[in-house]
Structure 1
């Protein structure tokens, strides 16, 4: 693997802080399967190949079916996802894509399924995977696998 730089080596305290955030999210009480699917969906949007591979494996290991994993990119047109999952995916997408015109509607739908603490947790989940994706893309040299942990 070839890298421009690695955050883990070149800025270890920043890497440790971001890693600790990811670990805290995993222990937040949100369903682990939902976290994996949000991480995967945001990674698909951002085009981080390493993260797509890693989060697909994590989702599979957590019991997500191949069909759900394969259908995630088209979740809006699939009947494989529950209403709360759909609300969480919509929220992660409007945050990732900075779709200001859709944020109020996405938030109202999110409120139907999650309390304020869970919404805050979902927001940080989307923010941290976006950060990991950008790190992976930045440190990766075209044509090689990205090396970072999330």
Structure 2
């Protein structure tokens, strides 16, 4: 796929706004590996190859294992994720596909067992930020670099 445009150059202010959201997410105190799992899972759901390429590499740099990255699309059937991670992933799916009923009371309760109100909002912001990056990348035709 050929990029339609370079959105960073076309609208630098929009790019700067996104960078500010990203900066906020990384200053929340949420576990860095959990943030990357959220980014990967949302990108899988949205079909964003560019973001999947980037965030699987970022996760590996943080020490994430290949097994946990490979199993992420089937996290419910895998025992390699903590209960807190599972709650974050459930919230990621609910927020990413918000039209499928929103965030159920069950998911909310599951998340709140592991995260306080402040962290809950921080998780939502992390999920919203990667969803926005996905939409920017897909809409402007960004793709993962080809490896030949």
TM-score computed with the length of structure 1 as normaliser:
0.91
Unaligned segments of structure 1, at least 5 residues: none
Cα root mean square deviation, aligned: 1.5
- Please name the residue that 2:13 is paired with: 13
Give the aligned length: 144
Say whether the 8 Å CA contact 1:75–1:86 is kept in structure 2: yes
> Is residue 50 of structure 1 aligned with residue 63 of structure 2?
no
Say whether the 8 Å CA contact 2:53–2:144 is kept in structure 1: no
Q: Within 5 Å, which residues of 2 pair with 1:1-150?
A: 2-98=2-98, 99-100=100-101, 102-140=103-141, 145=143
Secondary structure, in 3 states, of the residue corresponding to 2:71? helix
Aligned-residue offset at 1:3: 1.7
> Following the alignment from structure 1 to structure 2, what is the Cα–Cα distance between the partners of residues 37 and 28?
16
Q: 1:60 to 1:146 in 2, by over 3 A?
A: closer
Say whether the 8 Å CA contact 2:3–2:140 is kept in structure 1: yes
Q: Could you give the per-residue CA deviations for residues 100-135 of structure 1, whole angstroms, max 9, x where no partner exists?
A: 265221111101000000000000000010000011
Secondary structure, in 3 states, of the residue corresponding to 2:30? coil
> Following the alignment from structure 1 to structure 2, what is the Cα–Cα distance between the partners of residues 2 and 19?
24
Structure 1 stretches of at least 4 aligned residues deviating more than 4 Å after TM superposition:
none
Q: Could you give the per-residue CA deviations for residues 35-54 of structure 1, whole angstroms, max 9, x where no partner exists?
A: 00100000000000010010
TM-score computed with the length of structure 2 as normaliser:
0.92
